Chain A
Amino acid sequence: MTLIDEVAAWLSDPAHWTGPDGMLPRLLEHLELSGFCMALAIVIALPIGLWIGHTGRGAALAIRAANIGQALPTLGVIGIVWPLTANIEPYGFDLIPSVVALTALAIPPIVTNTFAGLRQVDPEAIEAGRGMGMRELQLLRLVEVPLALPSILAGLRISAVQVVATATLAAVLGAGGLGRLIIDGIAQQDDAQLFVGALLVAVLAIATELGFAALQRVAASPGLRARPARESAADA
């Protein structure tokens, strides 16, 4: 039987779609884990990035920490956290280590891109805001963040794609997600299952990339969009 036949046969079993170990629950688990870690990373990283970008204080330290964080191998982090949390009920063994590792992976790009985005804001725009009597928080909310938004969203995109791709490794500790299909496929020598799992992870990573790219286009302040494009759209 060729691989294509095997995959077709595997896909023709409804249990492989909606059963407890099927693709759909695995996909949902994968999205849940990735979404949770991204939310956690945003809550931690965005304020840090905004703070160092707005004040310029602690930038060198934060960027260096982010570089080190990016170099940490995810499997190593999972391995280091796992023995410490294994006895915490109920998620200590299968979930917490992956959440820590994935959140740590997601934080650096958000911090560095938020910082870089705020630093790129034209000082004259900030001057103008100050001249209009804006306070620091207003300046951040009304001037700096809108102008830095493309860069901030680029950071979120890099993080999200990495998290979705790496969440596959959570299956090593018995957590769910699409990595389960791959790891079970390897263990059961079931080429069809591991191939479908790999395909779904790759497609999900690409879809995340495209989704955030679309979000970046929609969310950009109208003033930042290329003027000719807007005019031609109005003509059409």
Chain B
Amino acid sequence: MPPGEPLFRPDWVVDNLDVIGQRLGEHVGMTATAVIVGFLISFALALLIRRRRTLTTAVIGTAGILYAIPSLALFAFLIPFTGISFVTAEIALVSYTLLILVRNILLGLDSVPAEVLEAADGMGYTARQRLWRVELPIALPIVVAGLRIATVTTVGLVSVTALIGQGGLGYLIVVVGINGFFPTATYVGALLSVALAVAADALLLGAQSRLTPWSRARSATT
């Protein structure tokens, strides 16, 4: 670090609000893309597993292996094929969400009591109506719990993509801060990424309680 460089320069933050905002926006965009794509893939995989239970080990096992590969190594494996790009970053980020999301979607759907399913069948619901109107609403809290873990993990991992030329707030931490010997940028990036993780978690929890008003009513009466 250059001698005399203070740990924090408030004036830099004020002068560079646009740059900071842009990186924050990138970070949100990369996280949202990974979680949404990861959720769509996981949802399809979970429905597939429910149709053929024999696939459970194969799907969960593969997702488990992907999850165990260190993030920087997974990026490195992909670079020879997809280059130093947004796509490389997103493929890796999406793969890390699969294990958590598939497992929680399955857990959620399996948590629906058999009597409820029977009641729905007795009311003449088709399989599709039963899934969307009965099973998913009941599974929602467990599914959202998975989404929360996946989102918080992804917010942390997006920073690492700074090492392959992406990174959102990770760009401030690594490129501007560490490589540029400029602590202020590192602190801004690190603190904002923690704040973003906390905010995303609270947002999802809020969305869940909005989508499942009955669970709020129940906790209010008891």
Residues of chain A having any CB pair with chain B under 8 Å: 3, 71-80, 82-84, 86-87, 93, 161, 165-166, 168-169, 172-173, 179, 182-183, 185-186, 191, 194-195, 197-199, 201-202, 205-206, 209
Per a CB cutoff under 8 Å, which of B74, B155, B178 touches A82? B178
Expressed in whole angstroms, the Cα–Cα distance for A169 and B173 within the complex equals: 13
A131 to B186, CA, bound (A): 58
Is residue B100 contacting chain A, with contact meaning CB distance below 8 A? no
- Chain B residues, CB < 8 A from A161: 68
User: Which residue of the partner chain A has the closest CB to B3?
Assistant: A87
* A168-B72 in contact given A76-B156, A191-B79 (Cβ < 8 Å): yes
Neighbouring B residues of A195 by C-beta, 8 Å: 76-77, 80
Would you list the 8 A-B pairs with minimal beta carbon distance, nearest first? Answer: A83-B183, A73-B156, A198-B76, A165-B70, A198-B73, A76-B190, A79-B186, A201-B73
A73 touching B79, Cβ below 8 Å: no
Provide the bound-state CA to CA distance between A73 and B79, in Å. Answer: 23
Of A76, A77, A82, most buried by chain B (CB within 10 Å of CB) is A76
**Residues of chain B with a CB closer than 8 A to A71's CB:** 152, 156, 197
User: Would A72 and B187 be within 8 Å (CB), given that A166-B70, A201-B70, A201-B72 are in contact?
Assistant: no
Chain B positions 70 through 90: 1 when the CB is less than 8 Å from some CB of chain A, otherwise 0? 111111110110001000000
Are A79 and B76 within 8 A (Cβ)?
A: no
A83 contacts B7, C-beta separation under 8 Å: yes
Most A CB atoms within 10 A — which of B69, B76, B187? Answer: B76
- Decide: B70 and A76 in contact? CB cutoff 8 A: no
Q: Chain A's interface: helix, strand, loop or mixed, by majority?
A: helix
Docked-complex contact A173 and B178, CB < 8 angstroms? yes
Contact B186 A80 (CB under 8 A): yes
Question: Does the CB pair B73–A83 fall under 8 Å?
Answer: no
Q: Is the CB of A73 within 8 A of B72?
A: no
Closest to B77 in A: A198
Q: Which of B74, B84, B160, B183 contacts A75 (CB 8 A)?
A: B160
| Contact in complex: B187, A75 (CB < 8 Å) | no
Contacts A79-B178, A182-B72 known; list 12 others, CB within 8 Å: A71-B156, A74-B156, A79-B186, A79-B187, A84-B7, A172-B174, A183-B72, A186-B84, A194-B79, A198-B73, A202-B77, A209-B68
Whether the pair B159, A75 counts as a contact (CB closer than 8 A) is: yes
B-side contacts of A84, CB under 8 Å: 7
What's the Cα separation between A46 and B194 when bound, in Å? 28
Which residues of the partner chain B approach A209 to less than 8 Å between Cβ atoms?
Answer: 68
- Select from chain B the residue with minimum beta-carbon distance to A209: B68
| B68 engages A76 (CB within 8 Å) | no
Contact of A72 among B69, B170, B194 (CB under 8 A): B194
Identity of the chain A residue whose Cβ is nearest the Cβ of B170 in the assembled complex: A75
> Which A residues are in CB contact (< 8 Å) with B84?
186
Q: Give Cα distance in the complex from A74 to B84, angstroms.
A: 22
A183 to B68, Cβ gap below 8 A? no
14 contacts between A and B (CB under 8 A): A71-B197, A72-B194, A73-B159, A73-B194, A74-B156, A75-B159, A75-B174, A75-B190, A76-B173, A79-B178, A165-B69, A169-B72, A194-B79, A201-B72
